[in-house]
Amino acid sequence: MKTILSYGAGVNSTAIIALALLNEIPMPDHIVFSDTGAEWPHTYKYMDYLENQGIKITYLTGGNKEMTLIEYCQMKNFVPSRMNRWCTDYWKIQPLRRFAKGLDGESEMILGIDAGEAHRAERTRYKQITFPLIELSMDRNDCKKVIKEAGLGVPQKSGCFICPYQKKRQWIDLKKYYPTLWEIAIRLEKNSIFKHEHFTFVNGMTIEEFVSDLDKQEELPFGVVLDERCECLFN
């Protein structure tokens, strides 16, 4: 049976790669990243770093709509919302399922859910699935430790830069350190408001309003790509 690591380029799924490098578990047959086309830049850079370390990553692009998440939002004139996680389904879950179905024979999905969030494992939809971090009773701090033991840098928090579940600090860092991406998010939201009225990333306000009260505070950079000596800043 082939094994597929659903790789999110964050701490937990990277810890599974680290465990395999340390021969604690078998290396997955496939390390697969479902690419929305709207990931934070440091996420792409970290995966480049891993590939330079000899880790092969399979990228699934285009989602279920054969276009990036940004292109789809531009076409539909709306933005991802907390009310309905359609973006996760179209660009993360469905591409991974298609990849698994395209393999010869049965496959087993590996998910990086740690012991501190074991309740999430109960909501997964795959038939053949395993949770190495839960089985090994590893929490998030254990994951960071094993990544360092494997000689890898600890990745920062991964995700889309237009994710409606982002914290205020992440929107602030997007504006401060990635102004071009911030402008993309602003344009998407303005088009969404014009077309659908009040349909914004954050319920009840625009992202400009959401970050305005903290604009003048000095923040640590969210965009630092890699530091093998210190912890990542936000995850």
Same structural domain, 144 and 174: no
pLDDT at position 231, please? 28
Single pTM value for the model: 0.84
Same structural domain, 56 and 15: yes
Same structural domain, 202 and 100: no
Lowest average pLDDT, out of 37-51, 62-76, 112-126, 141-155, goes to 112-126
Same structural domain, 72 and 119: yes
Judge whether 54 lies within some domain: yes
- Look-up of token digits 């399979």: 58
Judge whether 203 lies within some domain: yes
Q: Chain centroid to CA 15: how far?
A: 14
> In CATH, what number is assigned to the domain containing residue 14?
3.40.50.620
Lowest average pLDDT, out of 38-42, 45-49, 67-71, 117-121, goes to 117-121
Residue 202 backbone phi and psi in degrees, to 5 = -110, 130
pLDDT at 22 over 80: yes
- Residue 204's CB: how many other CB atoms inside 10 A? 8
Q: Of the candidates 75, 87, 85, 63, which has an alpha carbon nearest to the alpha carbon of residue 192? A: 75
The total of structural domains in the chain comes to 2
Judge whether 60 lies within some domain: yes
Length of the chain counted residue by residue: 235
Same structural domain, 142 and 83: yes
Count of helices and strands (H, E) across the chain: 10, 5
- What's the chain's average pLDDT? 87
Q: Classify residue 119 as exposed, middle or buried by CB count within 10 Å of its CB (0-12, 13-18, 19+).
A: exposed
Domain of residue 131, residue span: 2-149
Percent of residues, the chain, with pLDDT higher than 90: 68
Helices 168-177 and 179-196 pack at an angle, to 10 degrees, of 120
Same structural domain, 32 and 95: yes
